[in-house]
Structure 1
């Protein structure tokens, strides 16, 4: 079996500059590089926080995220990629910090198998944060 490891998640956004600001201000990502993808008519940036990366795309003429893709339970009813998820040590502390930063908290999960939350970025894209429980 060929070896591989995770490199990045990618999201399309209406404004590259607004997304760079949001991912930096709310989650602490910094611009690693900016570039253009001529074939897609896109301005793009790779943002990074330690080993984690997001590729942000501002594509000319792109449509907005459909409303049903902005809420986790509804989003699951559409095939395709759903979200990326990151581990947090303490969900309640993380939620308090996100509320302080004015983040859009889309959904909070507290179940026997674990707990977590989903944030919407500045374009409505879902990002999950999970606190693993010892079960």
Structure 2
């Protein structure tokens, strides 16, 4: 099988400037590159935090995120990409930090099989964080 590795995830947002601010202020991403994709009519940015990359798209005339895509339990009822997930060493500390920053916390799971949460970015897109204390 051909080898491959993860490069980035992509998120469509209504305001690129607002998303750049949110992803930087809330999650610590930094702007790596900003460019325009003529064929997609998209003001675009690649953001980075260590080895993690996200591509943010502000597309002219894009439809808003449907309400059911803003809730984890209803989002999975529609086929397609759902979300990205990141590991945090301590979910409770992470939640405290997100609450202090005024982040929209969509869903928290504290079960015998594990702990995690979903937050919404400034456009309502879901991002999952899972507690994983392994180094």
* Displacement over 6 Å in runs of 4+: none
Per the alignment, in what secondary structure is the counterpart of residue 19 of structure 2? helix
Aligned to 2:78: 78
Contact kept, 8 Å, 2:90 with 2:132, in 1: the verdict is no
The separation in 1 between residues aligned to 2:18 and 2:107, in whole angstroms, is 23
Unpaired runs of at least 5, structure 1 = none
The separation in 1 between residues aligned to 2:69 and 2:4, in whole angstroms, is 29
Aligned to 2:113: 113
Per the alignment, in what secondary structure is the counterpart of residue 87 of structure 1? strand
The separation in 1 between residues aligned to 2:21 and 2:39, in whole angstroms, is 25
The separation in 2 between residues aligned to 1:79 and 1:112, in whole angstroms, is 28
Q: Aligned-residue CA RMSD in angstroms?
A: 1.1
Could you report, residue by residue, the CA deviation over 1:41-81 in whole angstroms, capped at 9, with x for unpaired residues? Answer: 00000010000011000000001000000000010101000
Aligned to 1:87: 87
Could you report, residue by residue, the CA deviation over 1:10-47 in whole angstroms, capped at 9, with x for unpaired residues? Answer: 00000000000000000000000001110000000001
Q: How many residues align?
A: 134
TM-score (norm 1): 0.97
Task: Report matched runs for 1:96-135 at 5 Å.
Answer: 96-132=96-132
Unpaired runs of at least 5, structure 2 = none
Cα distance, 1:133 vs structure 2:
7.1
Aligned to 1:48: 48
TM-score (norm 2): 0.97
The separation in 2 between residues aligned to 1:122 and 1:45, in whole angstroms, is 16
The separation in 1 between residues aligned to 2:7 and 2:111, in whole angstroms, is 29
Residues 1:33 and 1:82: Cα distance change in structure 2 (over 3 Å)? same
The separation in 2 between residues aligned to 1:41 and 1:93, in whole angstroms, is 40
